[in-house]
């Protein structure tokens, strides 16, 4: 069974199926979604278990020809439907399934236009998974842009009072980022070729099965000596080929050899910078982060969960998979800048979080701060740093849904998220206070929880790095302290002391079974990954080793 | 060639059909005529030919462009439901005949090999458009638009003719080949006559006016707004496609030798067009006016491909024209349905507010318009995305980096105003009751949507024949 | 002989330009039309100088004769005697002046540099009807035929737009 295709199309088919159900089946929609998401999680858990940690490179690959465009004298573009997972994408796929399942449970609170909501929700699930498993840059871009549409409507239709503004802002920011990616993509396909297909088109071999490494070397040699007629070149978007400098046509725009310059800047460095900006919007990185607090505040709880839990991860994933793998030279050149921006995100996000009165806004800024660690770890280009960056992505993917669920719990009861609206909630809602404490402490980086591993190792990686100045690491460490500050201060203000609220205290009931069912597993997972970080490191290690060979 | 002849005859036949008592036959007859022309046109595939002493060149490019024009015209005729069945003072036979004649003009512009043919084609198309703009005789805006279009258009045609005369003065030839060989020789020896430069500029200005590129776009918003919507749809698709076909042909063949001269000024105009079109569109309160500015901005993207002038420019223009035409026809179709049933200040409501809550009252129309807007905005899995993709590819190949950056930023601005109508349809509460539309109308709109999505998922089906 | 023709040409050109300016500047529309007639006559004289006798005659008959008389009739019928001041902002006027001036300078600068080739041979038959007919029906047959489409569109359009309808606005 093509497992990755199933992971993408199971939710998509589910979405279409929901649309076909009659309106009278209203109560069933949420259960269908829940079952599909549970099935999705089961499938991706199976994927995790049968993943071979020893192998280097992509596993479970599926490749089909999709679009073949002839460009006359300029050869052919071949766009493939290519899927696969490796040590980087596997945790992300599993995380997606998990967060989507949690989001599906949380979506039970949606009471209007259920059919549209759950269809869009499943559509979102499919496109996000597609983003993580796509091996063709074009396919990635397609999912990357297409996921904006369900997200746009999910925020815009079921959001808070300023939902139109927030959803359009979210859309415009991400789209502006993605057009930069599109530009680089065009330059990339014009520069790179698929050696296997080219071997076929020049008649070096008759059959795809006869392609060996020798044949590929022959093709590389012929391309590098400009012996291949341009009309016979097969241009490609396949990330596996794009990451190999030997596949770039000499004298092409992005060839490592040619050294083309645009506006007095090396074309490759410029391309890296554009990709970086494109993904930095998604991550989000200060100063491109302003859409995030608005989107979070207006989005309904399950959508906040999904947004923080997975969509931000695509930015980080894009750094690894596309910006860094294709342009290692740019990554090295800009390393100090990236680390600086990472530290800026950490500190600026933390200071902003400190000053917020809206619980969701506070959490949104804490996300910005936590994503700064990903940048810092990535910029270090050390094994610890890169592993920690992936780890931080994963850990934040577990913890931020928890944080937003916590905010959602109180919002659902009183429709008020202001921090100064409550005091001493621990007395009427003890288990809520307990699980909030777990979420907060895990997020601020208490040892034993997953947050600690990601933050600690990314600081350590940056410290060991030759690219990152020490003062930046120190400033990043200061961000950790600030993080402790805003979480503890918030916890103290909301939960401790004498009970007081401006709302009717009778609505302040403790966690329901459904809420516990979401919070408890997430908390336990965070604890599990904090105590046994090896479960994740053993998967990412192999990938990181290969990844760092490029630098 | 047969398609041009048959269309001119069909136009006359259509006028005679107007004598019949029943007006019902006109719409199917016109559709039939266009389909016959389309078939005749496709019979010219792979038949390279020059007709009547190098007046008209028929090749695959001609067949492709003519195919786009004919298909667009078919779709527009498909949504022209109100001709003649409700109001006694309309003249459906004349409308359809003029439409057919104008398509003849468009085909002449696409296939011309001699500047005289270009001029005649431009005139046929323009005069037909002047007339059609003013057909809503009781509407003072339509009258104003027709007069404005006529005055400005004649001025532009005058410039075009002046340019042709000067180019003839410099090169001694009306033929594209003759001009090209003069330009080639003269630029090799560095002895290009200044007359050619002035003539070329005038010729280009005349053409840029017809495709409504800045700074010759001032007529566009008023004319598009004043003209009956169905003819606005025709103007912004067929005229633009034919205009760019002619423009690219003349720029890339006759004046290829002085590329350095015109590329610079055209690049400036492309930037201006993109900026003015997109930024002004964002400020419009009326959907129809927004579409007018959006058509200006799309002229900017197409100009980008002309400025690039790489071999792939032509197929990029072809694909872009097709995707743009499909989306625009759908958008104007929905606008027609909406503005006819919702009144504002005594006439059809073409503001964004008219679309409020359309998703609830007419989900199908809302979906059609959404796909069309997404395609115009260039979101993946729609034809518009590939159009932009190919245009940008051509620009990257020609190293037009700064132009490209502006185009990319402007396409983000585009998202903003295209999404305003999506917001209105899906996020605003519904006003008024559902709109009833006829089956043929719905079928045509659904067809455009299906084609847009199909081209978005499998662009190679069409791209490989361009 | 050469010089005399040159003098005639200069005179004609001056009159043409003056008359053309009058068309635009005259306050009374009837004066405008009359100066237009003068302009057409001068243009016809230019045709004669260019050895295009037939075109000269046609120009006088069709334009100066028929069309201008029609114009005069229309203007007299509409009684457009009083001149209404067109309100245009100074900015627009300035813009128009700048654009027009720049274009004029550019054209003059370009035309001054042009070296006109001397005509190879002089053939008195060039402007005759037979020659014109041959060119029209041999080389330019297709555009000649297709121009009919143009006229047809113009005719149908004019009739359609000119027809008075029920419920139409009157000005």
What residue spans define the domains of chain A? 334-551
Q: What is the pLDDT of residue C83?
A: 56
- Cβ–Cβ gap C113/B12 under 8 Å: no
CA proximity to A331, closest of A317, A344, A319: A319
Average pLDDT over residues A392-414: 91
Between CA A498 and CA A445 the distance in angstroms is 28
pLDDT at C166 over 70: no
Subunits in contact with chain A (3 or more CB pairs closer than 8 Å): B
Residues of B in contact with C107 (CB under 8 A): 198
Alpha-carbon separation of residue A439 from A99, A432, A467, C124 (angstroms)? 15, 11, 33, 102
pLDDT of residue A425: 86
Percent of chain A whose predicted confidence (pLDDT) is above 70: 100
Domain annotation covers residue C131: yes
> Residue B197: closest CA among chain C residues belongs to which residue?
C110
Q: Considering only CB atoms, which chain B residues are within 8 Å of C161?
A: 131, 134-135, 137, 146
User: Are B120 and C139 inside 8 Å of each other by CB?
Assistant: no
Name chain B contacts of C114, Cβ cutoff 8 Å: 169-170, 193-195
Beta carbons of B134 and C166 less than 8 Å apart: no
Residue B161 is inside which H or E element, if any? helix B140-171
Contact A308, A296 (CB under 8 A): yes
Which tokens go with A116? 């549209």
Question: Residue A69 and residue B312: Cβ atoms within 8 Å?
Answer: no
Contact between B120 and C114 using a beta-carbon 8 Å cutoff: no
pLDDT value for A191: 86
pLDDT, tens digit (0-9, with 9 covering 90-100), for A345-366 = 999 999 999 998 898 999 999 9
Interchain proximity C141–B53, CB inside 8 Å = yes
Report the pLDDT value the prediction gives residue C169, as an integer from 0 to 100. 53
Residues 142-171 of C with CB under 8 A from B: 142-143, 146-147, 149-150, 152-154, 156-158, 160-161, 165-169
pLDDT number for residue A1? 67
Q: Which residue, C29, C49, C81, sits at the end of a domain?
A: C81
ipTM > 0.90 for the complex: no
Of A175, A190, A263, the CB nearest to B396: A190
Domain of residue C40, CATH code: 1.20.120.1200
User: Which chain A residue is nearest to residue B357, measuring alpha carbons?
Assistant: A157
* Residue A123: other Cβ atoms inside 10 A: 24
Asked if residue C74 and residue C128 are part of one domain, the reply reads no
Same domain membership, residue C62 and residue C2: yes
pLDDT at B431 over 80: no
Q: What range defines the domain where residue C157 resides?
A: 124-164
- CB-based contact, C94 to chain B, within 8 Å: no
CB pairs under 8 A, 24+ apart, for B343-347?
A: B347/B139
Q: Does any domain span residue C152?
A: yes
Contact A145, A127 (CB under 8 A): no
Q: What is the mean pLDDT of residues A416-440?
A: 88
Residue C56 lies in a domain: yes
Q: Which residue has the higher pLDDT, B100 or B193?
A: B100
Q: How far is CA A406 from the centre of its chain?
A: 22
Q: Which residues of A touch B459 (CB under 8 A)?
A: 67, 69
Structure tokens of B203?
């010729």
Helix (H) or strand (E) holding A473: helix A470-495
Q: A209-262, pLDDT tens digit by residue?
A: 777 778 888 888 888 887 777 778 888 899 888 888 888 888 778 877 777 777
Distance from CA of B448 to the nearest CA of C (A): 29
What is the arithmetic mean of pLDDT over B297-314?
92
* Closest-CA distance of chain C to residue B79, Å: 22
B426 to A180: CB separation less than 8 angstroms, yes or no: no
> Are C22 and C77 contained in the same domain?
yes
Is chain A touching chain C, with at least 3 CB–CB pairs below 8 Å?
no
The whole-number pLDDT of residue B74 equals 94
Cross-chain Cβ contact B408/A183 below 8 Å = yes
The residue of chain C with its CA nearest to that of B166 is C111
Q: Which residue has the higher pLDDT, B230 or B433?
A: B230
Tell me what pLDDT residue A159 has.
84
Interface mutation vs chain C, best among B5, B104, B131, most C CBs within 10 Å: B131
Distance from CA of B304 to the nearest CA of C (A): 25
Q: Establish, for the pair of chains B and C, how many residue pairs have beta carbons separated by less than 8 Å.
A: 101
Distance from CA of C65 to the nearest CA of B (A): 22
**Position A507 confidence tier, pLDDT thresholds 50, 70, 90:** confident
Does residue C88 lie within any of the structural domains? no
Average pLDDT over residues A499-527: 87
How many domains does chain C fold into?
A: 2
Q: Are A419 and A490 in contact (CB under 8 A)?
A: yes
pLDDT bracket for residue B251 (50, 70, 90)? very high
Average pLDDT over residues C82-107: 80
CA distances, B450 to each of B323, B326, B447, B455, B456 (Å):
12, 10, 5, 8, 10
Q: Which residues of B touch A (CB under 8 A)?
A: 311-312, 315, 374, 379-381, 389, 392-393, 396-397, 399, 401-402, 404-405, 408-409, 411-412, 415-416, 419, 423, 426-427, 458-460, 463-464
Q: Are A291 and A169 in contact (CB under 8 A)?
A: yes
Last residue of a domain, one of C81, C102, C132: C81
For the ranges B116-130, B363-377, C20-34, the lowest mean pLDDT is seen at C20-34
Q: In this structure, what token pair is assigned to residue A187? A: 């330059």
Q: In this structure, is residue C89 part of a structural domain?
A: no
Q: Which of A170, A179, A266 is the best substitution to test chain B (most B C-beta atoms within 10 A)?
A: A179
Q: Quick one: pLDDT at residue C171? A: 47
> Measuring CA to CA, which residue among A177, A195, A160, A197 is closest to residue A288?
A177
Query: Contact A164/B423, CB-based, under 8 Å?
Result: yes
Mutation choice for B interface testing from C136, C157, C162 by most B CBs within 10 A: C157
CA nearest to A132, candidates A441, A382, A407, A394: A394
Distance from CA of C107 to the nearest CA of B (A): 7
pLDDT in tens, B321-345: 999 999 999 999 999 888 888 777 7
Is B396's CB within 8 Å of A183's CB? yes
What is the distance in angstroms between the Cα of B110 and the nearest Cα belonging to chain C? 14
Residue B168: closest CA among B244, B110, B254: B254
Q: C87: pLDDT confidence band, cut at 50, 70 and 90? A: low
Question: What is residue B85's predicted lDDT score, i.e. its pLDDT?
Answer: 47
Q: What is the mean pLDDT of residues C146-153?
A: 92
Using alpha carbons, select from A391, A393, A293 the residue that is nearest to residue A348: A293
At residue C168 the predicted structure's pLDDT band, cuts being 50, 70 and 90, is low
Residues in chain B within 8 Å Cβ distance of A173: none
Q: Which residue from B389, B402, B415 is facing A171, i.e. has the nearest CB?
A: B415
Query: Is residue C170, in this structure, part of any structural domain at all?
Result: no
User: What integer pLDDT is reported at residue C161 of this predicted model?
Assistant: 85
Q: Answer whether residue B88 shows pLDDT above 60.
A: no
Q: Which two tokens stand for residue A41?
A: 């999680």
Q: Inspect the interface and report whether the beta carbons of A146 and B379 lie closer than 8 Å.
A: yes
Contact B/C (≥3 CB pairs under 8 Å): yes
Neighbors of chain B with 3 or more C-beta pairs under 8 Å: A, C
| Over residues A312-341, mean pLDDT | 91
The number of CA neighbours under 13 Å toward the Cβ of B207 is 30
Instruction: Kindly state the tokens that stand for A280.
Output: 């930095």
Do chains B and A have 3 or more beta-carbon pairs under 8 angstroms?
Answer: yes
Chain B residue nearest residue C139, CA to CA: B53
- Residue reference for tokens 């059919």: A115
Pairing mode, if any, of strands A234-236 and A76-85?
A: parallel
Residues of chain C found within 8 Å of residue B15, distances taken between Cβ atoms: 156
Please report residues of C whose CB lies closer than 8 A to that of B102: 153
Chain segment A24-53, per-residue pLDDT in tens? 888 888 899 999 999 999 999 999 999 888
**What gap in Å lies between CA A235 and CA A214, rounded to an integer?**
20
Asked if A183 and B415 come within 8 Å (Cβ–Cβ), the reply is no
* B178 neighbourhood in chain C, CB within 8 Å: none
Contact C150 B56 (CB under 8 A): no
Q: Three-state DSSP class for B309? A: coil
On chain B, the residues whose CB falls within 8 A of the CB of A176 are 409, 412
**What is the nearest CA distance from B243 to chain C, expressed in angstroms?**
17
Instruction: Say whether A262 and B415 touch across the interface (CB within 8 A).
Output: no
């Amino acid at each position: 069974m093509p497992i990755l295709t199933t992971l993408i199309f199971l939710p998509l088919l589910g979405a279409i199926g929901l649309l076909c159900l009659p309106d009278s089946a209203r109560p069933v929609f949420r259960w269908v979604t829940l079952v599909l998401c549970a099935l999705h999680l089961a499938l991706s858990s199976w994927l995790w278990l049968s993943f071979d940690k020893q192998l280097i490179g992509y596993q479970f690959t599926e490749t089909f020809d999709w679009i073949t465009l002839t460009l006359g004298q300029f050869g052919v573009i071949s766009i493939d439907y290519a899927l696969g997972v490796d040590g980087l994408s596997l945790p992300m796929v599993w995380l997606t399934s998990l967060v989507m399942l949690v989001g599906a449970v949380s979506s039970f609170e949606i009471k209007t236009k259920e059919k549209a909501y759950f269809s869009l929700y499943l559509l979102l699930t499919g496109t996000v998974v597609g983003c993580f498993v796509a091996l063709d840059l074009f396919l990635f871009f397609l999912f990357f842009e297409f996921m904006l549409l369900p997200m746009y409507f999910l925020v815009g239709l079921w959001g808070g009072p300023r939902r139109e503004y927030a959803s359009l802002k979210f859309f415009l920011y991400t789209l502006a980022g993605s057009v930069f990616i599109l530009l680089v993509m065009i330059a990339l396909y014009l520069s790179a070729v698929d050696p296997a297909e080219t071997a076929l088109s020049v008649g070096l071999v008759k059959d795809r099965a006869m392609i060996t490494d020798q044949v590929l070397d022959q093709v590389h040699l012929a391309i590098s000596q400009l012996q291949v007629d341009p009309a016979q070149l097969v241009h490609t978007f396949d990330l596996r080929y794009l990451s190999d400098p030997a596949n770039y046509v000499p004298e092409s725009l992005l060839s490592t050899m040619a050294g083309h310059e645009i506006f007095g800047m090396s074309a490759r460095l410029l391309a890296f910078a554009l990709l970086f900006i494109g993904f930095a919007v998604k991550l989000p990185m200060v100063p491109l982060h302003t859409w995030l607090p608005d989107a979070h505040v207006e989005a309904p709880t399950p959508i906040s969960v999904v947004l923080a839990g997975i969509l931000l991860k695509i930015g980080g994933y894009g750094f690894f998979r596309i910006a860094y793998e294709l342009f290692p030279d740019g990554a090295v050149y800009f390393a100090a800048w990236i680390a600086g921006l990472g530290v800026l995100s950490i500190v600026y996000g933390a200071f902003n979080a400190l000053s917020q009165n809206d619980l969701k806004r506070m959490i949104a800024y804490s996300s910005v701060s936590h994503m700064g660690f990903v940048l810092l770890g990535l910029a270090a280009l050390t094994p610890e740093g890169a592993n920690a960056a992936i780890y931080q992505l994963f850990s934040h993917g577990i913890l931020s849904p928890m944080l937003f669920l916590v905010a959602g719990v109180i919002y659902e009861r009183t429709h008020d998220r202001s921090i100064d609206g409550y005091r001493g909630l621990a007395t009427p809602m003890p288990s809520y206070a307990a699980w909030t404490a777990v979420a907060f402490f895990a997020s601020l980086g208490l040892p034993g929880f997953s947050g600690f591993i990601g933050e600690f190792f990314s600081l350590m990686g940056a410290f060991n790095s030759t690219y990152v100045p020490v003062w930046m690491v120190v400033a990043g460490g200061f961000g950790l302290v600030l993080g402790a500050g805003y979480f503890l201060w918030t916890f103290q203000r909301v939960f401790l002391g004498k009970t007081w609220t401006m709302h009717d205290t009778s609505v302040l009931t403790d966690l329901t079974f459904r809420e516990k069912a979401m919070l408890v597993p997430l908390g336990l997972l965070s604890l599990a990954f904090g105590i046994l970080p090896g479960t994740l490191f053993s998967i990412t290690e192999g990938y990181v080793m290969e990844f760092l060979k490029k630098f | 060639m047969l398609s041009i002849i048959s269309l001119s005859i069909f136009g006359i036949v259509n006028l005679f059909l107007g004598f019949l008592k029943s007006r019902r036959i006109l719409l199917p007859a016109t559709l039939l005529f266009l389909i016959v022309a389309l078939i005749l046109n496709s019979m010219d595939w792979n038949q390279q030919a020059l007709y009547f002493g190098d007046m008209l060149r028929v090749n695959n490019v001609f067949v492709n462009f003519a195919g786009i024009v004919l298909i667009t015209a078919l779709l527009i005729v498909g949504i022209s439901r109100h001709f003649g069945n409700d109001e006694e003072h309309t003249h459906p036979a004349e409308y359809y005949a003029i439409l057919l004649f104008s398509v003849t003009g468009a085909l002449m512009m696409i296939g011309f090999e001699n500047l005289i043919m270009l001029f005649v084609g431009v005139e046929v198309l323009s005069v037909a458009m002047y007339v059609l703009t003013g057909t809503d005789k009781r509407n003072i805006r339509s009258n104003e638009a027709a007069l404005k279009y006529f005055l400005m258009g004649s001025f532009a045609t005058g410039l075009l003719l002046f340019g042709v005369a000067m180019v003839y003065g410099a090169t001694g030839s009306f033929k594209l080949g003759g001009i090209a060989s003069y330009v080639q020789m003269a630029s090799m020896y560095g002895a290009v006559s200044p007359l050619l430069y002035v003539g070329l500029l005038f010729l280009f200005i005349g053409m840029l006016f017809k495709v409504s590129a800045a700074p010759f776009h001032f007529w566009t918003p008023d004319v598009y707004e004043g003209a009956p919507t169905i003819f606005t749809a025709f103007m912004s698709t067929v005229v633009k496609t034919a205009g760019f076909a002619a423009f690219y042909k003349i720029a890339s063949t006759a004046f290829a030798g002085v590329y350095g001269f015109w590329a610079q000024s055209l690049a400036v105009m492309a930037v201006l067009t993109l900026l003015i079109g997109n930024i002004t569109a964002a400020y419009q309160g009326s959907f129809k006016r927004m579409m007018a500015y959006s058509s200006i901005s799309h002229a900017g993207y197409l100009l980008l491909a002309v400025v690039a002038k790489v071999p792939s420019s032509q197929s990029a223009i072809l694909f872009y024209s097709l995707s743009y035409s499909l989306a625009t026809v759908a958008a104007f179709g929905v606008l027609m349905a909406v503005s006819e049933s919702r009144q504002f200040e005594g006439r059809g409501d073409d503001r964004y507010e008219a679309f409020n809550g359309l998703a609830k009252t007419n989900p199908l129309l809302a979906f059609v318009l959404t796909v069309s807007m997404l395609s115009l905005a260039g979101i993946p899995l729609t034809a518009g995305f590939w159009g932009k993709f190919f245009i940008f590819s051509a620009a990257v190949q020609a190293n037009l980096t700064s132009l490209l950056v502006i185009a990319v930023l402007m396409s983000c601005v585009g998202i903003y105003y295209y999404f305003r109508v999506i917001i209105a349809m899906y996020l605003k509460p519904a006003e008024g009751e559902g709109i009833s539309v006829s089956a043929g109308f719905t079928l045509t709109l659904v067809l455009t949507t299906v084609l847009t999505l199909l081209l978005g998922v499998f662009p190679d089906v069409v791209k490989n024949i361009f | 002989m050469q010089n005399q023709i040159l003098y005639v040409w200069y005179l004609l050109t001056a009159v043409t330009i003056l008359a053309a300016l009058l068309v635009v500047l005259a306050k009374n529309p009837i004066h405008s039309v009359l100066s237009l007639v003068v302009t057409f006559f001068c243009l016809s004289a230019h045709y004669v100088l260019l050895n295009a006798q037939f075109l000269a005659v046609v120009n006088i008959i069709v334009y100066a004769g028929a069309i201008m008389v029609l114009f005069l009739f229309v203007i007299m019928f509409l009684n457009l005697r009083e001149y209404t001041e067109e309100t245009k902002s100074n900015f627009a006027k300035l813009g128009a002046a700048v654009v027009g001036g720049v274009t004029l300078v550019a054209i003059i600068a370009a035309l001054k540099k042009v070296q006109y080739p001397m005509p190879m041979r002089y053939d008195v038959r060039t402007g005759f009807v037979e020659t014109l007919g041959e060119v029209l029906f041999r080389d330019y047959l297709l555009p000649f035929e297709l121009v009919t489409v143009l006229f047809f569109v113009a005719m149908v359009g004019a009739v359609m737009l000119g027809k008075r309808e029920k419920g139409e606005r009157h000005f």
